[in-house]
Amino acid sequence: MKQYFPNIQIFSDVSPFKQEIEFYASYMWVLGLILSADMVFYATCCYTVLYRQDKELQEKVKSFGLPLLVFAFGLSIFSIYVYYTGYIVTDGVTFMAWDITIDFATKFEIFQYISLFQLVFMFGIAMFIALFYTLLHKIFSKGSRNDQI
């Protein structure tokens, strides 16, 4: 799995628990990809099959504005990038006065951070797909409505 997902090797280089972190990161990748595929299938069904019958979904899609779409799209791409490349472990993330670096020093940190990263990754995939469909819908339905993107 290390040859497909570079973060597994990066995480094991940083942590003193090399085998545990490789196993847990690989396990979470398998679980995360299965759940991400399920979320992609669900979003595809919602926007292609169920969209015409679900008035609540239609109103929700109409209410999304361009700034919200751009922000959520950028956040989803950033979350996928940070987890896949292991960027948060090698360089850390700085937000205002906080500098977040992770070293996986204990087994609880391994469990805690990899679970959190995988959750953010799955959310990023789901947001990416949902926002992609929302943007396509707004672009192609622009001619039939008077509102702007």
Domains in the chain: boundaries: 19-140
What is the pTM (predicted TM-score) of this model? Answer: 0.74
Give the pLDDT confidence score for residue 142 in this predicted structure.
65
- Specify the higher pLDDT residue, 18 or 82: 18
> Taking 80 as the threshold, does the pLDDT of residue 107 lie above it?
yes
Give the pLDDT confidence score for residue 118 in this predicted structure.
87
d(CA 121, CA 27): 14
What mean pLDDT comes out for the span 12-37? 90
Say if CB 49 and CB 86 are below 8 A apart.
no
